[in-house]
Amino acid sequence: QVRLVESGGGSVQAGGSLRLSCTPSKFTGRSTLAWFRQVPGKELEGVAAIYDGGARTWYADSVNGRFVISRDNAKNTVDLQMNQLTPGDTGMYYCAADGGPDFRAGLWIGTNRVWFGYWGQGTQVTVSS
């Protein structure tokens, strides 16, 4: 079973930056990897995704231009650089991969619907004003 472990969360002041990392136990060039976030009382929200071996990316409108998702093949991680953070970015951030058995969410990325069934435990991000 594929396992994913997130790190890099923390508390930061509005306008600051954080960098999250996700380390999958199974990392392939065909995998679509994504970051989701969730706040109490709300559903999972897709934040960013990387696919086609890292050649293409997708971002939610709310973070487009501020966040950057990337793959670091040498370290076997998928990273999320978060800049210009606002209190609205506060939440539990989850790393996810497609094709797993634990379906929680799907995203339309390009012309494809991608189903995410591998999930990490989450890392908390708190942005204060």
Note the pLDDT tens digit of each residue in 65-108: 999 999 987 888 999 999 999 999 999 999 999 998 999 999 99
Structure tokens at 86: 């606002």
Hey, is 53 helix, strand or coil? Answer: helix
Cβ atoms of 71 and 33 within 8 Å: the answer is yes
Cβ atoms of 35 and 94 within 8 Å: the answer is yes
**Between 74 and 115, residue with greater pLDDT:** 115
